[in-house]
């Protein structure tokens, strides 16, 4: 690709893009458009070093503010946009990129459409669906730069022992290194949301522990954190209906006593993985355990 292929992108004015779209953002539909040029310009630079930008996915293109910047750094961009007005605007605004096969616009819900093959994802996500979208993307093992509500981002990146640490922290960090790279004030958006935002970089990597059954591990973590103020011992006993354990008493009998006395917020992801392995062995019918559960 030559430099001339990108000369028409990368510096469009956010306010002008919104005007040309012919429709303002609707807070009721989570439409808060980032209009601070300085923040928009920085977002693509937060991709991990040496990221493959041959095909970048954007979820929630809106009037194309971030789309414009992504087209300046990526070979190809696919945008998923559920609002028909904005989807039509993106096709018209970036007609040259579409004709050059550099832009594809998929009209639909990012939780329902088939995702294309992509090399990285950079998006300002709708807050109401940010968790579901993030956990649709994370298992795919691609670099992600995503905008979230600040509190959500802080919980995603939290370390064990901190107030923000929870199920979200363990689940996200199972798939990737999670870094909050920039906090964004609500004044950077139009219309302004009631909350502050944060940009998060998620760099995929394998966890430093083994998990035989990922679904069971994540369900087990979810179950224990529903009882985060109780000890792990009581959490195991009280949440079999969530974790799927047949014999929680056998798990308590087999697990490390010191770990059982802690609370979920003080258990690191690797310790959860070890505990989930014990739970799968001793607490599920058909396992290898001979524990009697007394």
Q: What is the pLDDT of residues 17-33, one digit of tens each?
A: 999 998 877 777 778 89
pLDDT score of 291:
37
Q: Which helix (H) or strand (E) holds 22?
A: none
In CATH, what number does 3-204 get? 3.40.50.150
pLDDT score of 280:
96
Distance CA 155, CA 167 (A): 9
Residue 62 scores a pLDDT above 50: yes
Report whether 241 belongs to an annotated binding site: no
Report whether 137 belongs to an annotated binding site: no
CA distances from residue 97 to 54, 56, 90 in whole angstroms, order as listed: 14, 14, 10
Report whether 109 belongs to an annotated binding site: yes
pTM summary value: 0.91
Confidence of residue 6 (pLDDT cuts 50, 70, 90): low
Would you say 270 and 210 are in contact if contact means Cβ atoms under 8 Å apart?
A: no
Q: Which of 101, 122, 96, 109 is nearest to 39 (CA)?
A: 122
Report whether 285 belongs to an annotated binding site: no
Distance CA 265, CA 250 (A): 23
Domain borders along the chain are: 3-204, 214-283
* Segment 255-265, tens digit of pLDDT: 999 999 999 99
Query: What is the pLDDT of the chain when averaged over all its residues?
Result: 93
Distance CA 183, CA 198 (A): 4
* Segment 108-125, tens digit of pLDDT: 999 999 999 999 999 999
Report whether 89 belongs to an annotated binding site: no
Class of residue 186 by CB neighbours under 10 A (exposed 0-12, middle 13-18, buried 19+):
middle
> Average pLDDT, stretch 80-91?
96
Residue 130 scores a pLDDT above 70: yes
Beta-carbon contacts of residue 149 (< 8 Å; ≥ 6 apart)? 127, 130, 193, 195, 196, 197, 198
Report whether 238 belongs to an annotated binding site: no
Distance CA 48, CA 42 (A): 13
pLDDT score of 251:
98
Architecture of the 214-283 domain? Orthogonal Bundle (1.10)
* Segment 146-198, tens digit of pLDDT: 999 999 999 999 999 999 999 999 999 999 999 999 999 999 999 999 999 99
């Amino acid at each position: 690709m030559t430099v001339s292929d990108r000369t028409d992108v990368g510096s469009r004015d956010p306010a002008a893009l919104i005007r040309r779209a012919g429709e303002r953002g609707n807070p009721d539909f989570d439409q808060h458009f980032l209009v601070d040029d300085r923040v928009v310009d920085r977002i693509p630079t937060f991709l991990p070093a040496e990221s493959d930008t041959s095909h970048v996915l954007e979820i929630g293109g809106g009037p194309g503010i971030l789309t414009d910047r992504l087209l300046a750094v990526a070979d190809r961009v696919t945008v998923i946009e559920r609002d028909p007005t904005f989807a039509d605007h993106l096709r018209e605004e970036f007609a040259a990129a579409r004709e050059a096969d550099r832009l594809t616009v998929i009209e639909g819900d990012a939780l329902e459409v088939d995702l294309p093959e992509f090399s990285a994802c950079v998006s300002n996500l709708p807050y109401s669906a940010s968790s579901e979208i993030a956990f649709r993307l994370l298992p795919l093992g691609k670099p992600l730069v995503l905008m979230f509500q600040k509190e959500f981002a802080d919980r995603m990146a939290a370390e064990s022992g901190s107030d923000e640490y929870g199920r979200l922290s363990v689940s996200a960090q199972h798939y990737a290194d999670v870094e909050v790279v920039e906090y964004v004030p609500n004044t950077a958006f139009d219309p302004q949301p009631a909350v502050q935002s944060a940009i998060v970089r998620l760099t995929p990597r394998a966890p430093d522990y083994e998990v035989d059954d990922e679904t069971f591990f994540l369900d087990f973590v979810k179950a224990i954190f529903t009882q985060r103020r109780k000890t792990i011992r009581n959490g195991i006993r009280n949440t079999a209906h969530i974790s799927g354990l047949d014999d929680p008493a056998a798990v308590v009998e087999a697990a490390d006593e010191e770990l059982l006395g802690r609370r979920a917020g003080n258990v690191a992801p690797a310790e959860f993985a070890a505990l989930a392995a014990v739970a799968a062995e001793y607490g599920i019918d058909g396992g290898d355990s001979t524990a009697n559960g007394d």
